[in-house]
Amino acid sequence: MEYYCGIDVSLEQSSVCVVDATGSIVCEATVASDRDVSIAWLSVMDLPLSRIGLEAGRLSQGLYAGLAKAGFAVELLETRHVRAAFKAMPVKTDKKAARGVAQLMRLGWFRPVPCKSLPAQEVRAMLTARKLVQAKLHDVEMSLRGILRGFGLKVGHTTPRTFDPRIRELVEGHPTLTTIANALLAARSVLHREFQGFERQVRSLARRNDRARLLTSAPGVGVLVSLT
């Protein structure tokens, strides 16, 4: 008898469902969303699992890697395909989702997607963190411009080097605005320093990556596009 397993991964707990070749539920459980706990639970069952299914997502990548390393036949399922299969489900719960994934694995009605490697995940995390710091740096600068504009003080065109002295020039003689500007400029200084650090890291990653170097040889392709 063949058995199939579906796991619906959540932040704290995951719902697990195992069905047999006829579609009957063999067992169900709720386990901690931890790869070691999940592997231990599946190992204790001691059933010949033909396939284990996980819906692709940030929470499922680590569990997928752990299950694959432990020797289980595990598949990541394309998210939109899974949602389309569950459209007829009147009320979606984690328990029902795990049952649905298990049935998809049994029937073979799924579209597998590759799991990003650990180095690829690290590059994506670096790019995401860089973008976040860049966005906050822009927010601080635009907020300063907006605050001063309300008092009739126009910053005008500046460069990263001239922004700080221009702000201090405008708020001179305004105690309240000086306090605000000092705080926001201090935050901007930290964000700018960290952003420059990310820029160096990203360029270093691109130089060490053969594919990224090849892509940057095309006109108009920079390190961000090549790494992405």
At residue 162, the pLDDT reads 95
Long-range pairs of 23-29 with CB within 8 A, sequence gap ≥ 24? 23/103, 23/106, 25/99, 25/102, 28/95, 28/98, 28/99
- Averaged pLDDT for residues 187-215: 95
All domains in the chain, ordered by first residue = 3-107 (3.30.420.140), 118-227 (no CATH)
Per-residue pLDDT at 132 exceeds 90: yes
**pLDDT tens by residue, 9-45:** 988 899 999 999 999 999 999 999 888 998 898 888 8
> Of 9-18, 111-120, 166-175, which one has max mean pLDDT?
166-175
pLDDT band per the 50, 70, 90 thresholds, residue 85: confident
Per-residue pLDDT at 179 exceeds 90: yes
3-state secondary structure the chain: CCEEEEEEECCCEEEEEEEECCCCEEEEEEEECCHHHHHHHHHHHCCCEEEEEEECCHHHHHHHHHHHHCCCCEEEECHHHHHHHCCCCCCCCHHHHHHHHHHHHHHCCCCECCCCCHHHHHHHHHHHHHHHHHHHHHHHHHHHHHHHHCCCCCCCCCCCCCHHHHHHHHHCCCHHHHHHHHHHHHHHHHHHHHHHHHHHHHHHHHHHCHHHHHHHCCCCCCHHHHHC
At residue 215, the pLDDT reads 94
- Averaged pLDDT for residues 41-68: 88
pLDDT band per the 50, 70, 90 thresholds, residue 208: very high
pLDDT band per the 50, 70, 90 thresholds, residue 88: confident
For the four alpha carbons of 215, 220, 222 and 225, in that order, the dihedral sign comes to negative
At residue 90, the pLDDT reads 72
At residue 3, the pLDDT reads 94
Does this model's pTM top 0.85? My answer is: no
pLDDT band per the 50, 70, 90 thresholds, residue 86: confident
